[in-house]
Structure 1
Amino acid sequence: MSTVLSGKEAVGERFVLESMRHAQQLTWKAVDEIAKVIKPGMLESEAQAQGKQILAQLGMDRIWHPLLIRFGANTLKTFKQRSDGDPVLGEEDIFFIDMGVVWQGHEGDAGATFTTGADPQMIACAAAAKELFVRVEALWREGVCGTELYRYAADQAQAMGWKLNLDIKGHRVSDFPHAIYRGGDLGDFEGRPNAGVWILEIQIAHPELPYGAFYEDLLI
Protein backbone atom coordinates (compact mmCIF):
# COMPACT_ATOMS: atom_id res chain seq x y z
CA MET A 1 0.00 0.00 0.00
CA SER A 2 1.42 3.36 -1.01
CA THR A 3 0.89 6.41 1.16
CA VAL A 4 0.72 10.04 0.05
CA LEU A 5 1.82 12.48 2.74
CA SER A 6 2.89 16.11 2.62
CA GLY A 7 4.60 18.80 4.66
CA LYS A 8 6.69 17.46 7.53
CA GLU A 9 5.45 13.98 6.72
CA ALA A 10 6.35 14.08 3.03
CA VAL A 11 7.70 10.90 1.47
CA GLY A 12 9.17 9.94 -1.88
CA GLU A 13 7.50 8.31 -4.85
CA ARG A 14 8.89 4.89 -3.89
CA PHE A 15 7.41 4.95 -0.38
CA VAL A 16 5.27 1.91 0.50
CA LEU A 17 3.96 1.43 4.02
CA GLU A 18 4.42 -2.34 3.93
CA SER A 19 8.04 -1.83 2.90
CA MET A 20 8.52 0.25 6.03
CA ARG A 21 7.11 -2.65 8.06
CA HIS A 22 9.50 -5.02 6.29
CA ALA A 23 12.44 -2.73 7.08
CA GLN A 24 11.31 -2.59 10.70
CA GLN A 25 11.24 -6.38 10.96
CA LEU A 26 14.70 -6.81 9.41
CA THR A 27 16.17 -4.12 11.63
CA TRP A 28 14.90 -5.86 14.75
CA LYS A 29 16.33 -9.13 13.47
CA ALA A 30 19.69 -7.36 13.15
CA VAL A 31 19.42 -5.92 16.68
CA ASP A 32 18.75 -9.39 18.07
CA GLU A 33 21.59 -11.00 16.11
CA ILE A 34 24.09 -8.37 17.23
CA ALA A 35 22.98 -8.59 20.87
CA LYS A 36 23.71 -12.33 20.83
CA VAL A 37 27.41 -11.81 20.06
CA ILE A 38 28.08 -9.06 22.62
CA LYS A 39 29.74 -10.64 25.65
CA PRO A 40 31.55 -9.48 28.81
CA GLY A 41 35.20 -8.73 28.10
CA MET A 42 34.45 -7.22 24.68
CA LEU A 43 35.48 -3.66 23.83
CA GLU A 44 32.77 -1.28 22.65
CA SER A 45 34.70 -0.87 19.37
CA GLU A 46 34.84 -4.65 18.91
CA ALA A 47 31.07 -4.88 19.34
CA GLN A 48 30.55 -2.22 16.68
CA ALA A 49 32.88 -4.00 14.26
CA GLN A 50 31.05 -7.29 14.73
CA GLY A 51 27.74 -5.50 14.37
CA LYS A 52 28.73 -4.09 10.99
CA GLN A 53 29.74 -7.55 9.81
CA ILE A 54 26.36 -8.94 10.83
CA LEU A 55 24.53 -6.18 8.98
CA ALA A 56 26.49 -6.96 5.84
CA GLN A 57 25.71 -10.68 6.19
CA LEU A 58 21.99 -9.92 6.52
CA GLY A 59 22.01 -8.18 3.14
CA MET A 60 21.28 -4.56 4.03
CA ASP A 61 21.26 -1.96 1.26
CA ARG A 62 23.32 0.43 3.34
CA ILE A 63 23.61 2.08 6.74
CA TRP A 64 21.79 5.41 6.84
CA HIS A 65 22.96 6.38 10.32
CA PRO A 66 26.03 5.04 12.12
CA LEU A 67 25.63 1.87 14.15
CA LEU A 68 25.89 2.85 17.80
CA ILE A 69 26.68 0.39 20.57
CA ARG A 70 27.14 1.95 24.01
CA PHE A 71 28.52 0.22 27.09
CA GLY A 72 28.12 1.23 30.73
CA ALA A 73 28.22 4.97 31.39
CA ASN A 74 28.14 5.63 27.65
CA THR A 75 24.46 4.62 27.71
CA LEU A 76 23.87 8.18 28.93
CA LYS A 77 25.27 9.61 25.69
CA THR A 78 22.95 10.96 23.02
CA PHE A 79 23.28 10.02 19.37
CA LYS A 80 25.41 13.07 18.56
CA GLN A 81 27.80 12.61 21.48
CA ARG A 82 30.93 10.52 21.19
CA SER A 83 31.56 7.66 23.58
CA ASP A 84 34.06 8.25 26.37
CA GLY A 85 37.00 5.96 25.64
CA ASP A 86 36.54 2.37 24.55
CA PRO A 87 35.11 0.60 27.59
CA VAL A 88 35.14 -3.12 28.21
CA LEU A 89 31.75 -4.70 28.89
CA GLY A 90 31.63 -6.04 32.44
CA GLU A 91 30.13 -9.17 33.90
CA GLU A 92 27.44 -7.00 35.54
CA ASP A 93 26.82 -4.31 32.95
CA ILE A 94 24.38 -2.59 30.63
CA PHE A 95 24.56 -1.74 26.94
CA PHE A 96 22.36 -0.61 24.10
CA ILE A 97 22.27 -1.02 20.33
CA ASP A 98 20.97 1.74 18.02
CA MET A 99 20.92 1.25 14.28
CA GLY A 100 19.54 2.87 11.15
CA VAL A 101 19.63 0.57 8.13
CA VAL A 102 18.13 0.72 4.63
CA TRP A 103 16.37 -2.38 3.36
CA GLN A 104 14.86 -2.42 -0.14
CA GLY A 105 15.10 1.36 -0.31
CA HIS A 106 13.28 1.95 3.00
CA GLU A 107 14.72 3.07 6.32
CA GLY A 108 14.66 0.84 9.36
CA ASP A 109 15.56 2.29 12.75
CA ALA A 110 15.47 0.41 16.04
CA GLY A 111 17.25 0.34 19.36
CA ALA A 112 17.09 -1.58 22.63
CA THR A 113 18.99 -2.04 25.88
CA PHE A 114 20.44 -5.26 27.24
CA THR A 115 22.20 -6.35 30.41
CA THR A 116 24.85 -8.84 31.43
CA GLY A 117 24.76 -10.57 34.80
CA ALA A 118 21.89 -10.10 37.24
CA ASP A 119 22.15 -6.55 38.59
CA PRO A 120 18.51 -5.76 39.49
CA GLN A 121 18.76 -2.01 38.93
CA MET A 122 20.31 -2.40 35.49
CA ILE A 123 17.69 -4.96 34.53
CA ALA A 124 14.96 -2.61 35.79
CA CYS A 125 16.44 0.30 33.83
CA ALA A 126 16.47 -1.64 30.57
CA ALA A 127 12.90 -2.84 31.17
CA ALA A 128 11.72 0.67 32.05
CA ALA A 129 12.85 2.13 28.73
CA LYS A 130 10.78 -0.44 26.84
CA GLU A 131 7.80 -0.07 29.18
CA LEU A 132 7.84 3.69 28.75
CA PHE A 133 7.93 3.24 24.97
CA VAL A 134 4.90 0.94 25.18
CA ARG A 135 2.95 3.49 27.22
CA VAL A 136 3.72 6.34 24.83
CA GLU A 137 3.02 4.20 21.78
CA ALA A 138 -0.41 3.38 23.24
CA LEU A 139 -1.14 7.09 23.59
CA TRP A 140 -0.08 7.69 19.97
CA ARG A 141 -2.70 5.16 18.87
CA GLU A 142 -5.32 7.44 20.41
CA GLY A 143 -4.39 10.17 17.91
CA VAL A 144 -2.34 12.45 20.18
CA CYS A 145 0.03 15.04 18.68
CA GLY A 146 3.80 14.63 18.80
CA THR A 147 4.40 17.37 21.37
CA GLU A 148 1.92 15.78 23.76
CA LEU A 149 3.58 12.39 23.37
CA TYR A 150 6.81 13.67 24.86
CA ARG A 151 5.08 15.67 27.60
CA TYR A 152 3.40 12.43 28.58
CA ALA A 153 6.67 10.50 28.31
CA ALA A 154 8.41 12.90 30.71
CA ASP A 155 5.58 12.66 33.23
CA GLN A 156 5.48 8.88 33.01
CA ALA A 157 9.25 8.57 33.37
CA GLN A 158 9.18 10.66 36.53
CA ALA A 159 6.31 8.61 37.95
CA MET A 160 8.29 5.44 37.23
CA GLY A 161 11.36 6.82 39.01
CA TRP A 162 13.53 7.62 35.97
CA LYS A 163 14.64 10.76 34.17
CA LEU A 164 13.70 11.18 30.51
CA ASN A 165 16.31 12.75 28.23
CA LEU A 166 14.27 15.32 26.30
CA ASP A 167 17.19 16.05 23.99
CA ILE A 168 16.04 12.85 22.27
CA LYS A 169 12.57 13.40 20.82
CA GLY A 170 12.11 11.06 17.87
CA HIS A 171 12.50 11.74 14.16
CA ARG A 172 11.35 11.01 10.62
CA VAL A 173 12.00 7.99 8.43
CA SER A 174 10.73 7.00 4.98
CA ASP A 175 12.07 5.73 1.70
CA PHE A 176 15.75 6.68 1.66
CA PRO A 177 16.75 9.45 2.17
CA HIS A 178 14.16 10.92 4.52
CA ALA A 179 16.46 13.88 5.31
CA ILE A 180 15.37 15.80 2.20
CA TYR A 181 11.90 16.26 3.71
CA ARG A 182 13.08 18.13 6.85
CA GLY A 183 10.42 16.66 9.10
CA GLY A 184 12.03 17.71 12.37
CA ASP A 185 11.63 15.96 15.71
CA LEU A 186 8.54 13.98 16.64
CA GLY A 187 8.47 15.80 19.98
CA ASP A 188 8.09 19.13 18.15
CA PHE A 189 5.42 17.93 15.69
CA GLU A 190 2.11 19.57 16.49
CA GLY A 191 0.04 17.33 14.25
CA ARG A 192 -1.19 13.77 14.72
CA PRO A 193 1.70 11.57 13.56
CA ASN A 194 0.82 9.20 10.74
CA ALA A 195 1.88 5.57 10.77
CA GLY A 196 5.09 4.44 9.14
CA VAL A 197 7.01 7.72 9.07
CA TRP A 198 8.04 8.48 12.67
CA ILE A 199 10.47 6.88 15.09
CA LEU A 200 9.57 7.15 18.76
CA GLU A 201 12.76 7.35 20.84
CA ILE A 202 12.97 6.86 24.58
CA GLN A 203 16.19 7.47 26.51
CA ILE A 204 16.19 7.44 30.30
CA ALA A 205 18.80 7.89 33.01
CA HIS A 206 19.06 6.20 36.37
CA PRO A 207 18.29 8.86 39.01
CA GLU A 208 21.54 8.18 40.92
CA LEU A 209 23.84 5.78 39.09
CA PRO A 210 25.91 6.55 35.95
CA TYR A 211 23.98 4.67 33.30
CA GLY A 212 20.73 4.75 31.39
CA ALA A 213 18.70 2.87 28.81
CA PHE A 214 17.40 3.40 25.30
CA TYR A 215 14.53 2.02 23.25
CA GLU A 216 13.18 3.10 19.87
CA ASP A 217 10.95 1.75 17.16
CA LEU A 218 8.77 2.73 14.22
CA LEU A 219 5.27 3.91 15.00
CA ILE A 220 3.16 1.80 12.67
Structure 2
Amino acid sequence: MTTSTTDTIEAPDRREATGAKFSPSSMQYARSQSWRAVAQMADGIRPGMTEAQAQTHSMGVLKQMGMDRIWHPLIVRFGEATLATFKERTDPERVLGEQDIFFIDIGPVWQGHEGDAGDTFVVGDDPEMHACAQAASTLWHEVAEQWRREKTSGQALYAYAAERARALGWRLNQDIKGHRVCDFPHAIYKAGNLGDFGLCPRTGLWILEIQIAHPTRPFGAFYEDLLTEDDTP
Protein backbone atom coordinates (compact mmCIF):
# COMPACT_ATOMS: atom_id res chain seq x y z
CA MET A 1 0.00 0.00 0.00
CA THR A 2 1.29 3.49 -0.81
CA THR A 3 1.24 5.93 2.11
CA SER A 4 0.94 9.69 1.93
CA THR A 5 2.84 12.08 4.19
CA THR A 6 -0.17 12.20 6.51
CA ASP A 7 -0.55 8.43 6.80
CA THR A 8 0.38 6.43 9.86
CA ILE A 9 2.63 3.40 9.89
CA GLU A 10 0.94 1.03 12.29
CA ALA A 11 2.87 -0.93 14.91
CA PRO A 12 1.81 -4.06 16.83
CA ASP A 13 0.67 -1.64 19.54
CA ARG A 14 -1.02 1.56 18.32
CA ARG A 15 0.87 3.55 20.95
CA GLU A 16 4.08 2.84 19.01
CA ALA A 17 2.77 3.89 15.59
CA THR A 18 4.69 6.48 13.59
CA GLY A 19 4.07 8.72 10.62
CA ALA A 20 4.95 7.72 7.07
CA LYS A 21 7.92 10.13 7.16
CA PHE A 22 9.44 8.50 10.23
CA SER A 23 13.16 7.79 9.91
CA PRO A 24 15.35 6.18 12.61
CA SER A 25 18.36 8.08 11.28
CA SER A 26 16.48 11.38 11.58
CA MET A 27 15.51 10.47 15.14
CA GLN A 28 19.19 9.94 15.93
CA TYR A 29 20.03 13.25 14.28
CA ALA A 30 17.38 15.00 16.38
CA ARG A 31 18.83 13.34 19.45
CA SER A 32 22.42 14.34 18.75
CA GLN A 33 21.50 17.91 17.78
CA SER A 34 19.46 18.28 20.98
CA TRP A 35 22.42 17.22 23.11
CA ARG A 36 24.72 19.63 21.28
CA ALA A 37 22.21 22.38 21.98
CA VAL A 38 21.99 21.54 25.70
CA ALA A 39 25.79 21.72 26.00
CA GLN A 40 25.91 25.11 24.28
CA MET A 41 23.08 26.44 26.43
CA ALA A 42 24.75 25.35 29.66
CA ASP A 43 28.03 26.96 28.63
CA GLY A 44 26.30 30.33 28.43
CA ILE A 45 24.38 30.23 31.72
CA ARG A 46 26.15 32.12 34.50
CA PRO A 47 25.47 33.16 38.13
CA GLY A 48 23.46 36.37 38.24
CA MET A 49 21.23 35.41 35.30
CA THR A 50 17.49 35.01 35.83
CA GLU A 51 15.57 31.98 34.58
CA ALA A 52 13.96 34.24 31.96
CA GLN A 53 17.37 35.42 30.72
CA ALA A 54 18.62 31.83 30.59
CA GLN A 55 15.59 30.79 28.55
CA THR A 56 16.13 33.67 26.11
CA HIS A 57 19.78 32.67 25.72
CA SER A 58 18.82 29.02 25.23
CA MET A 59 16.18 29.78 22.63
CA GLY A 60 18.79 31.79 20.77
CA VAL A 61 21.02 28.70 20.66
CA LEU A 62 18.23 26.64 19.08
CA LYS A 63 17.51 29.29 16.48
CA GLN A 64 21.19 29.66 15.63
CA MET A 65 21.46 25.89 15.20
CA GLY A 66 18.59 25.93 12.71
CA MET A 67 15.88 23.94 14.47
CA ASP A 68 12.60 23.49 12.59
CA ARG A 69 10.45 24.52 15.55
CA ILE A 70 9.85 23.48 19.16
CA TRP A 71 7.30 20.85 20.10
CA HIS A 72 7.39 21.53 23.86
CA PRO A 73 8.34 24.71 25.73
CA LEU A 74 11.99 25.21 26.58
CA ILE A 75 12.52 24.86 30.33
CA VAL A 76 15.39 26.19 32.47
CA ARG A 77 15.03 25.75 36.23
CA PHE A 78 17.30 27.18 38.95
CA GLY A 79 17.79 26.14 42.58
CA GLU A 80 14.62 25.14 44.40
CA ALA A 81 12.73 25.24 41.09
CA THR A 82 14.59 22.06 40.07
CA LEU A 83 11.98 20.26 42.20
CA ALA A 84 9.11 21.53 40.05
CA THR A 85 7.48 19.31 37.44
CA PHE A 86 7.29 20.25 33.78
CA LYS A 87 3.81 21.78 34.06
CA GLU A 88 4.40 23.73 37.27
CA ARG A 89 5.07 27.45 36.95
CA THR A 90 8.27 28.86 38.44
CA ASP A 91 9.49 32.40 39.07
CA PRO A 92 11.10 33.73 35.87
CA GLU A 93 13.03 36.27 37.97
CA ARG A 94 14.74 33.59 40.08
CA VAL A 95 18.47 34.32 39.98
CA LEU A 96 21.18 31.67 39.67
CA GLY A 97 23.51 31.88 42.66
CA GLU A 98 27.26 31.38 42.93
CA GLN A 99 26.63 28.00 44.59
CA ASP A 100 23.64 26.65 42.76
CA ILE A 101 22.13 23.94 40.57
CA PHE A 102 20.07 24.17 37.39
CA PHE A 103 18.63 21.97 34.69
CA ILE A 104 17.73 22.41 31.04
CA ASP A 105 14.89 20.56 29.26
CA ILE A 106 14.39 21.11 25.54
CA GLY A 107 12.02 19.76 22.89
CA PRO A 108 13.11 20.97 19.44
CA VAL A 109 12.22 19.48 16.06
CA TRP A 110 15.04 18.70 13.63
CA GLN A 111 14.49 17.26 10.14
CA GLY A 112 10.81 16.88 11.06
CA HIS A 113 11.63 14.64 14.06
CA GLU A 114 11.28 15.35 17.75
CA GLY A 115 14.35 15.79 19.89
CA ASP A 116 14.08 15.79 23.67
CA ALA A 117 17.09 16.15 25.96
CA GLY A 118 17.58 17.28 29.53
CA ASP A 119 20.49 17.48 31.94
CA THR A 120 21.50 19.09 35.22
CA PHE A 121 24.46 21.40 35.88
CA VAL A 122 26.11 22.87 38.96
CA VAL A 123 27.88 26.18 39.52
CA GLY A 124 30.21 26.34 42.50
CA ASP A 125 31.54 23.46 44.54
CA ASP A 126 28.63 22.29 46.70
CA PRO A 127 29.35 18.54 46.92
CA GLU A 128 25.72 17.50 47.43
CA MET A 129 24.59 19.44 44.39
CA HIS A 130 27.30 17.82 42.30
CA ALA A 131 26.32 14.41 43.68
CA CYS A 132 22.64 15.03 42.88
CA ALA A 133 23.37 16.05 39.28
CA GLN A 134 25.55 12.98 38.80
CA ALA A 135 22.97 10.70 40.43
CA ALA A 136 20.24 11.69 37.95
CA SER A 137 22.51 10.72 35.05
CA THR A 138 23.69 7.54 36.77
CA LEU A 139 20.14 6.47 37.53
CA TRP A 140 19.04 7.13 33.95
CA HIS A 141 21.83 4.96 32.57
CA GLU A 142 21.11 2.16 35.04
CA VAL A 143 17.43 2.11 34.07
CA ALA A 144 18.24 2.25 30.36
CA GLU A 145 20.64 -0.66 30.74
CA GLN A 146 17.94 -2.61 32.59
CA TRP A 147 15.67 -2.08 29.57
CA ARG A 148 18.37 -3.26 27.16
CA ARG A 149 19.30 -6.29 29.23
CA GLU A 150 15.92 -7.50 30.51
CA LYS A 151 13.53 -6.12 27.85
CA THR A 152 11.19 -4.98 30.60
CA SER A 153 7.98 -3.00 30.28
CA GLY A 154 7.75 0.73 30.81
CA GLN A 155 5.91 0.09 34.06
CA ALA A 156 8.66 -2.20 35.31
CA LEU A 157 11.33 0.31 34.34
CA TYR A 158 9.88 2.98 36.59
CA ALA A 159 9.43 0.54 39.45
CA TYR A 160 13.11 -0.31 39.04
CA ALA A 161 13.99 3.40 38.88
CA ALA A 162 12.22 4.06 42.20
CA GLU A 163 13.99 1.12 43.82
CA ARG A 164 17.41 2.22 42.57
CA ALA A 165 16.82 5.87 43.56
CA ARG A 166 16.08 4.80 47.14
CA ALA A 167 19.18 2.60 47.17
CA LEU A 168 21.31 5.54 46.01
CA GLY A 169 19.82 7.84 48.66
CA TRP A 170 17.50 10.01 46.53
CA ARG A 171 13.75 10.39 46.04
CA LEU A 172 12.35 9.71 42.57
CA ASN A 173 9.58 12.01 41.36
CA GLN A 174 7.06 9.38 40.28
CA ASP A 175 4.88 11.93 38.51
CA ILE A 176 7.54 12.15 35.77
CA LYS A 177 7.18 8.97 33.71
CA GLY A 178 8.52 9.51 30.20
CA HIS A 179 6.67 9.74 26.89
CA ARG A 180 6.66 9.07 23.14
CA VAL A 181 8.54 10.92 20.41
CA CYS A 182 8.72 10.38 16.63
CA ASP A 183 8.24 12.36 13.46
CA PHE A 184 6.33 15.48 14.50
CA PRO A 185 3.73 15.45 15.96
CA HIS A 186 3.80 12.36 18.19
CA ALA A 187 0.73 13.56 20.12
CA ILE A 188 -1.67 12.13 17.51
CA TYR A 189 -0.86 8.61 18.73
CA LYS A 190 -2.07 9.26 22.31
CA ALA A 191 0.58 6.92 23.65
CA GLY A 192 0.44 8.03 27.29
CA ASN A 193 3.34 7.79 29.71
CA LEU A 194 6.24 5.37 29.38
CA GLY A 195 5.75 4.50 33.05
CA ASP A 196 2.23 3.27 32.28
CA PHE A 197 3.21 1.27 29.17
CA GLY A 198 2.76 -2.44 29.86
CA LEU A 199 5.00 -3.67 27.02
CA CYS A 200 8.72 -3.47 26.37
CA PRO A 201 9.24 -0.11 24.61
CA ARG A 202 10.74 -0.26 21.15
CA THR A 203 14.05 1.44 20.51
CA GLY A 204 14.08 5.02 19.25
CA LEU A 205 10.50 5.90 20.18
CA TRP A 206 10.40 6.65 23.91
CA ILE A 207 11.96 9.25 26.17
CA LEU A 208 13.03 7.99 29.59
CA GLU A 209 12.78 10.84 32.12
CA ILE A 210 14.38 10.80 35.56
CA GLN A 211 13.78 13.52 38.14
CA ILE A 212 15.14 13.11 41.66
CA ALA A 213 15.10 15.18 44.82
CA HIS A 214 17.64 15.57 47.59
CA PRO A 215 16.24 13.78 50.69
CA THR A 216 16.44 16.89 52.93
CA ARG A 217 17.58 19.95 50.97
CA PRO A 218 15.36 21.96 48.56
CA PHE A 219 16.82 20.99 45.18
CA GLY A 220 16.79 18.13 42.72
CA ALA A 221 18.12 17.03 39.36
CA PHE A 222 16.75 15.96 35.99
CA TYR A 223 18.02 13.83 33.12
CA GLU A 224 16.24 12.56 30.03
CA ASP A 225 17.19 10.96 26.73
CA LEU A 226 15.89 8.69 23.99
CA LEU A 227 15.91 4.97 24.71
CA THR A 228 18.10 3.37 22.05
CA GLU A 229 20.37 0.37 21.78
CA ASP A 230 23.27 2.82 21.44
CA ASP A 231 23.88 4.60 24.75
CA THR A 232 25.88 7.47 23.25
CA PRO A 233 24.03 10.59 22.01
Q: Which TM-score applies when normalising by structure 1? A: 0.97
Which runs of 5 or more structure 2 residues have no equivalent in the other structure? 1-8, 229-233
Q: Whole-Å Cα distance in 2 between the matches of residues 198 and 105 of structure 1? A: 16
Identify which range, 3-12 or 93-102, moves more after superposition. 3-12
1:84 is displaced (CA, Å) by 3.4
What are the equivalent positions in structure 2 for 1:61-76 lying under 5 Å apart?
61-76=68-83
Q: Whole-Å Cα distance in 1 between the matches of residues 90 and 80 of structure 2? A: 9
Identify which range, 102-111 or 83-92, moves more after superposition. 83-92
1:86 is displaced (CA, Å) by 1.9
1:199 is aligned to 207
Q: Whole-Å Cα distance in 2 between the matches of residues 145 and 166 of structure 1? A: 16
Provide, for residues 163-209 of structure 1, a one-character-per-residue CA deviation record: whole Å limited to 9, x for no partner.
Answer: 00000000000000000000100000000100111000000000000
1:85 is displaced (CA, Å) by 5.0
1:9 aligned onto 2:43:
no
2:189 is aligned to 181
2:4 is aligned to none
Identify which range, 169-178 or 80-89, moves more after superposition. 80-89
Provide, for residues 54-100 of structure 1, a one-character-per-residue CA deviation record: whole Å limited to 9, x for no partner.
Answer: 10000000011000000000000000101135211001000000000
SS of 1:216's partner is strand
Q: Whole-Å Cα distance in 2 between the matches of residues 138 and 53 of structure 1? A: 34
Provide, for residues 38-59 of structure 1, a one-character-per-residue CA deviation record: whole Å limited to 9, x for no partner.
Answer: 0001111000001111100000
Q: Which amino acid aligns with 1:21?
A: Q
2:57 is aligned to 50
Q: Whole-Å Cα distance in 2 between the matches of residues 7 and 140 of structure 1? A: 20
Match of 1:128 among 114, 123, 135: 135
1:107 is aligned to 114
1:138 is displaced (CA, Å) by 0.2
Equivalent residues of 2:178, 2:194 under 8 A apart = yes
Q: Which amino acid aligns with 1:186?
A: L
Q: Which amino acid aligns with 1:15?
A: F
Q: Which TM-score applies when normalising by structure 2? A: 0.92
Provide, for residues 88-127 of structure 1, a one-character-per-residue CA deviation record: whole Å limited to 9, x for no partner.
Answer: 1001000000000000000000000000000000000000
1:147 is displaced (CA, Å) by 0.3
Q: Whole-Å Cα distance in 1 between the matches of residues 202 and 10 of structure 2? A: 11
Q: Whole-Å Cα distance in 2 between the matches of residues 156 and 84 of structure 1? A: 31
Q: Which amino acid aligns with 1:188?
A: D
Q: Which amino acid aligns with 2:48?
A: G
Which runs of 5 or more structure 1 residues have no equivalent in the other structure? none
Q: Which runs of 4+ in 1 moved over 4 A?
A: none
1:119 is aligned to 126
Q: Whole-Å Cα distance in 2 between the matches of residues 70 and 16 of structure 1? A: 32
1:18 is displaced (CA, Å) by 1.1
2:154 is aligned to 146
1:36 is aligned to 43
**CA distance 1:105–1:181, change in 2 (3 Å):** same
Match of 2:167 among 145, 159, 167: 159
Identify which range, 78-87 or 38-47, moves more after superposition. 78-87
Aligned length: 218
Q: Which amino acid aligns with 2:120?
A: T
Identify which range, 78-87 or 147-156, moves more after superposition. 78-87
